[in-house]
Amino acid sequence: MVQRLNHTFDRALAHVGLVVVLAGCVSEQQTPYPRTPAPIPPTSQTRPPSQYPVPTQPSPQPIPQAPAPVQPQQPKPQSTVTLALQDEAQRAATAGDLPKAIQILERAIRIQPDSAQLWIELARCHLKEGNAAQAEQFARKALLFTGNRYDLEQQAWVVIADARAEKH
């Protein structure tokens, strides 16, 4: 029985020691900071309040206006010259003369370089000729000029997809 009491006493003493240790750890972590700041010694750069400059009101500046929303540009209609050249290029491509069709389309593009239709036709001719990389490049160029013409954008993406399929 004495042995059992000694064991219980030892356990109780261990618990008390643990509580004391934990209390010490907690009190070390929660050290309060000084509540009053240290006084700032006067220096030669401090001036009495009467010598501070009087603040001035900032001058009113105009409020910048938000820019107008950018409207996508519609592609310009093709000129009669480029339409005639495009028709001639289509006839040459149908006849199987792809180099001539490409030459005619390049001439039309020099006249009207912002025509998505001409770039798409040029890309198609290069794709028929077996030059997939060039076809994809020209179809991507056409995407720059499609504006709100989603039909032209779709045609350009179809040429890009066909060019990629031909590459692999």
pLDDT digits (tens, 9 = 90+) for 115-155: 999 999 999 999 999 999 999 999 999 999 999 999 999 99
Dmax over CA atoms of the chain, in Å, equals 119
Q: Which two tokens stand for residue 151?
A: 């039909």
Does residue 163 lie in a domain region?
yes
- Tokens (6 digits) for 168: 């692999």
For the chain, how many structural domains are there in total?
1
62 assigned to some structural domain: no
pLDDT greater than 70 at residue 50 = no
Domain-located, residue 95: yes
What span, in angstroms and rounded, lies between the C-alpha atoms of 160 and 124?
10
Report pTM.
0.56
Over 90: is that where the pLDDT of 114 sits? Answer: yes
Tell me the residue range of the domain where 102 lies.
80-167
Q: Is residue 151 part of a domain?
A: yes
Bigger pLDDT: 59 or 122?
122
Q: What is the CATH number of the domain that holds 146?
A: 1.25.40.10
| Cα separation, 107 vs 26, whole angstroms | 86
φ/ψ of 63, rounded to 5, equals -80, 125
Cα 41 to chain center, whole Å?
A: 53
**pLDDT of 161 above 60:** yes
Residue 163 has pLDDT above 90, yes or no: yes
Give percent of the chain with pLDDT exceeding 70.
58
The confidence score (pLDDT) of residue 23 equals 57
